[in-house]
Amino acid sequence: MIHIIRKRRSIRHFKSDFVRPEAIKVILDAARWAPSSNNSQPWQFVIISEKEEKVPIAELYVDAYKREAEDMLFRADAEERFKDPFEVKKRILGMLDMLRHQILDPPYIIIACADPRKSKSFLFESGAAIQNMMLTAWDLKLGSCCIELCTTLLSEYFQVDKLKYILDIPEEIVVVALIPIGKIAKMPENPRREILKDFHHTEFW
């Protein structure tokens, strides 16, 4: 288990190779075994595999990053958020094609949703379910990535209403994340992680 946890990476370059639908079933099965308060299981998932459905989702994703980049220099909190907003803007604008393909290329996009009426901690529970799914995907030699749409800077620019309209998602349901799933075309470098002594405390803080 620790091996899978350590090796899993967020994948941004996918092959469009076929993935057996049974693999998606195994991945969904992993989601339902996540912990949830009072066993509320607030998650719901929409599985997208049709190219025609992926195109508008990819455009909404790219559009959100574009708006984020365009707004970057005008944000009141730009200086505190980014060391060099100009540089970040340039970097995002240079990534747009890669981001589009992160959604278009993999055979599946799982739209993770949640019903907030079932649990106040639906985001927490969705995170646990999504992690279960990503680790299971990795175990099946598939890549994935969690593109969260509730709390991130990107989520401020993502037009979730349009996504909900396209996918017929009821108003009261929250879209939590997009999760592309597919065979890995390019492995990213290992991102930096804190070392143990920097984030744990023994007996007292």
Ligand X SMILES: Cc1cc2nc3c(=O)[nH]c(=O)nc-3n(C[C@H](O)[C@H](O)[C@H](O)COP(=O)(O)O)c2cc1C
- Sites of contact with ligand X (CB under 6 A): 9-10, 12, 145-148, 152, 154, 188, 191
Residue closer to ligand X, measured from CB, 170 or 191? 191
Which tokens is 18 given? 């076929």
Q: CB of 39: closest distance to ligand X in angstroms?
A: 24
Distance CA 114, CA 46 (A): 11
Q: Under DSSP, is residue 109 helix (H, G, I), strand (E, B) or coil? A: strand
Other CB atoms within a 10 A radius of the CB of residue 62 amount to: 19
Task: Report the nearest approach of ligand X to the CB of residue 191 (Å).
Answer: 4
CB-nearer residue toward ligand X: 173 or 179: 179
CB closer to ligand X out of 94 and 188: 188
Which one, 19 or 61, has the nearer CB to ligand X?
A: 61
CB 67 to ligand X: min, Å:
13
Interhelix angle for 51-71 vs 96-104, to 10°? 150
Cα–Cα distance for residue pair 142/72, rounded to 1 Å: 34
Minimum distance from CB of 22 to ligand X (Å)?
25
